[in-house]
Amino acid sequence: MPDKIRRLLPLLGHSGGSRDAMTCLYRCGNACDHPVPNTSDNDYLGDVVNAGMSRRGVIRAGAVGGMVLGFGGALTSSAPALAGGTSHGGSHGGGKPVKAGRLTFEAVAPNTADAVTIPKGYRSSVVIRWGDAVVPGAPAFDVHNQTVAAQLKQFGYNNDFVGVLPVPGESDRALLVVNHEYTNENLIFPGFTTLDALTVDQIKIAMAAHGLSVVELERVKRTGEWKPVEGKRLRYNRRITALETRFSLTGPAAGHVLLRTAADPEGRTVIGTLNNCAGGVTPWGTVLSGEENVNQYFVGGDQAPEELKAKLTRYGITTTARYPSDSRKWERAQERFDLAKHPNEAHRFGWIVEVDPFDPEAPPRKHTAMGRFKHEGANVIVADNGRVVAYMGDDERFDYLYKFVSDKKFLKGNSPAARRHNLSLLESGTLYVAKVTGDSPASEIDGTGKLPTDGRFDGKGKWIKLVSGNTSFVPGMTAADVLIFTRQAGDAVGATKMDRPEDVQPSLRTGKIYAAMTNNTNRGVGTNAAVDEANPRNANKHGHIFEITEDRGDHTGTGFTWQLPIVCGDPAAADTYFGGYDKTAVSPISCPDNVAFDSAGNLWISTDGNALGSNDGLFATPVEGRERGHLKQFLTVPRGAETCGPFVTGDDRSVFVAVQHPGEITGATVEKPASVWPDGDFAKPAVIVTWRPDGGPIGS
């Protein structure tokens, strides 16, 4: 980083790394201050089955799933136009050679401004913010007189995942689907003192501010700008909350005795969703959402049945205190959050949720076949053989990467029967966990980030089968055990401990899969797992990107090769790597979190917790050809905020970003905000859109 920029970067206050202490408390229940939940002694150097491993020529997989997410003129029919998309609608390689992307925007400099900063020649606007009306009849937002009834109809707090799905048959209408991961009561309630002092109604307001929102958008005058449709006849607008929405459990573990509670003796219906972090858009036009740090909502773990305690602990739930100091106190509003009384309630969270935004009456579903852990998100690709494959990360230090392969095949076409069929794809299949090895001698991975003599952090990997339908492949665990306690199943088979796997997403251009390892300051520290070639830095502050190439391009197979295309940090530092690109020409990046692609296949990366002292941001880089690793910062978010989303529309004309927890800096309140973005009064999480007024494609 040039000194001139470095001087502009006074350190923001933080604890245990780069995030503010307030974020640590509210977002993940101070996860970094707790012992690492993975105490298994998994070995990194396992034997990797690599029969037939060969470098891919041109990936053809996903040709079915690579249909265009039709924004603009490309939208010609209904359901098929929705296909193609994880977080974008780029058409897949389909056998054609992949062209190198090129990004021509002028990089934004790192900064600590209380503003959104975008490249010259671009524009941005707020699409929707906390408190804005979602459901018809929502009252105007009044922070001093907020009610449960109002929040149930208004946009929730702390927007995270962003998906934008075109409304069939209408090129200028789309559905915005957003996660609301968590609340920060210090910044929501004027006069806040302590969580214990909150009224029960205030706790219910927080519960109503969790969940998801579905908001119908319209394009502004043929530009890349979008805004909410207003009026009373909104067909799709919807709030999904932790307080009242009913979810159906699907898959092999639905109805299992460990999922039954006093309120739900059948074990098939759950009220609410918690801590929804990232997600993905499926090729059949639904949204997946990951339930992540769900542990912090529960108390009473010390009085849970003895045989459950080790299992609860592996999921980060405190079993040594009646009321952990960093819990959210929701048991004061709803007894189910007290495990002393309802020990199975915790098992009903930590799933992948599927929402059909085009059917507001349909209950959202929690898919047990996809396993239970701290789900960051899930992104789907259609394999050559028609099965759908979802890639997933468990966002905790030293936890694992997973994939799910459906039993059934994706059906093309937009008939009601095809859609009904596709809606069942994630209810049955096979769950795998990743085990990886490096190809360089262990002695060359010294923990400093120095490249081994072959010039790359790279190697091979194997997807280890955990469970398929009702058949378990983990000795000593039933299929239901594997699905409900998936972390322990990963431990048992020796999965590779990674540096906090966040968003994992296949590129529909190349079929390669990209996973963000956000950071892990415990790597190689004390008795924690040592470095390995896939997680090569001690006390990894800045994270890295993990790129997977499935053998023979088969997403349903069990072998892969991998590389680290980007090892994040200050490009001037010796421990960083940008695909071999000239490091004087790239932007500093720290703590990659969410990833997305534009239709050219460029990788977009948003950050959470910039440990270089500047605000978080959004970055983009080509991943193929000579420009691979030429990473540039596209925007920055205001003080205290994290950059979430992101989502590039299929026509490349708009990029959406969720600005999460602006002003979340210790000591801040509604009355004394650390950020006044976006309205000049107090901080409000909001979704923004950025576009080019000349109508050109974003980035290039």
- Residue closer to ligand FEO by CB (options 502, 598) is 502
Cβ closest to ligand FEO, residue 403 vs residue 412: 403
Which of Ca ion, ligand FEO, none does residue 375 bind to, with CB < 5 to 8 Å depending on kind?
none
Nearest distance from residue 512's CB to ligand FEO, in Å?
22
Tell me: cis bond preceding 357? Omega within 30 of 0 counts. no
661: amino acid identity, one letter:
H
Report the distance separating Cα 418 and Cα 80, nearest Å: 10
Q: Which does 181 bind (CB under 5 to 8 A by kind): Ca ion, ligand FEO, none?
A: ligand FEO
Using CB under 6 A as the binding rule, whether residue 595 contacts ligand FEO is answered as no
Residue facing Ca ion at closest CB distance: 440
Handedness of CA 108, 22, 202, 343 (dihedral sign): positive
CA 602 to chain centroid, in Å, comes to 18
* Beta-strand relationship, 123-129 and 686-691: antiparallel
487-506: contacts with Ca ion (CB under 5 A): 502
Would strands 238-240 and 246-250 be described as parallel, antiparallel, or unpaired? unpaired
3 state DSSP class of 648: strand
Q: Which two tokens stand for residue 238?
A: 């919807």
Residue closer to Ca ion (CB basis): 377 or 559: 377
Sequence-ordered list of residues with C-beta below 8 angstroms from that of 687, at least 6 positions apart, any chain: 126, 127, 128, 129, 159, 162, 176, 178, 645, 656, 657, 658, 659
CA distance 537 to 525: 11
CA-closest candidate to residue 519, choices 504, 539, 534, 548: 539
What minimum distance in Å lies between the beta carbon of 54 and ligand FEO? 34
Q: Which residues, at least 6 apart from 416, have a Cβ–Cβ distance to it below 8 Å?
A: none
Q: Which of 502, 532, 570, 616 binds ligand FEO (CB under 6 A)?
A: 502
Stretch that binds Ca ion, among 162-170, 455-463, 564-572, 658-666 (CB under 5 A): 455-463
> Binding of ligand FEO at residue 114 (CB under 6 A)?
no
**The binder of Ca ion chosen from 456, 462, 497, 653 (CB under 5 A):** 456
Q: Would you count residue 277 as binding ligand FEO (CB under 6 A)?
A: yes
Q: Which entry of Ca ion, ligand FEO, none binds 454, CB below 5 to 8 A by partner kind?
A: Ca ion
**Binding of residue 394 to ligand FEO (CB under 6 A):** no
Applying CB under 6 A, what is the total number of residues that bind ligand FEO? 6
Q: Binding to ligand FEO by residue 624, rule CB under 6 A?
A: no
**Closer of 458 and 554 to Ca ion (Cβ):** 458
H-run or E-run covering 192: none
- Which residue among 20, 114, 132, 181 contacts ligand FEO (CB under 6 A)? 181
Closest residue by Cα to residue 274 from 321, 198, 322, 327: 327
Select from 356, 532, 551, 593 the one that contacts Ca ion (CB under 5 A): 593
Number of residues that bind Ca ion (CB under 5 A): 9
Q: State which of residues 230, 454, 582, 681 lies at the interface with Ca ion (CB under 5 A).
A: 454
132 binds, among Ca ion, ligand FEO, none (CB under 5 to 8 A by kind): none
Stretch that binds Ca ion, among 189-197, 575-583, 592-600, 687-695 (CB under 5 A): 592-600
Interaction of residue 292 with ligand FEO, rule CB under 6 A? yes
- DSSP E strand stretches across 508-636: 513-517, 544-550, 559-567, 577-578, 592-597, 603-607, 617-621, 632-636
134 contact partners, CB below 8 Å, separation of at least 6: 128, 153, 154, 155, 213, 214, 215, 237, 238, 239
Q: Which of 158/654 has CB closer to ligand FEO?
A: 158
Q: Which of 264, 394, 395, 399 binds ligand FEO (CB under 6 A)?
A: 395
Binding mask 259-278 for Ca ion (x = CB under 5 A): ------------------x-
Please report how close the Cβ of residue 182 comes to ligand FEO at its closest, in angstroms. Answer: 8
691 SS3 class: strand
Q: Is 376 in the site for ligand FEO (CB under 6 A)?
A: yes
CA distance 631 to 110: 13
Phi/psi-derived region of residue 158, left when phi > 0, alpha when psi is between -120 and 50, beta in every other case: left
- Which of the listed partners (ligand FEO, Ca ion, none) does 251 bind, with a CB threshold of 5 to 8 Å by partner kind? none
Give the H/E segment covering residue 10: none
For 32, counting Cβ atoms within 10 Å of its Cβ (0-12 exposed, 13-18 middle, 19+ buried), the class is middle
Which one of 458, 547, 598, 651 is in contact with Ca ion (CB under 5 A)? 458
CB of 633 to Ca ion, least distance (A): 18
Nearer to ligand FEO, 354 or 502 (CB): 502
- In 3-state terms the chain splits into helix, strand, coil percentages (rounded to 5) of 15, 30, 55
Applying CB under 5 A, the span of 16-24, 72-80, 424-432, 440-448 interacting with Ca ion comes to 440-448
- Establish if 440 lies at the interface with Ca ion (CB under 5 A): yes
Please report, as ranges, the residues that interact with ligand FEO according to CB under 6 A: 181, 277, 292, 376, 395, 502
**Interacting residues toward Ca ion by CB under 5 A:** 277, 439-440, 452, 454, 456, 458, 502, 593
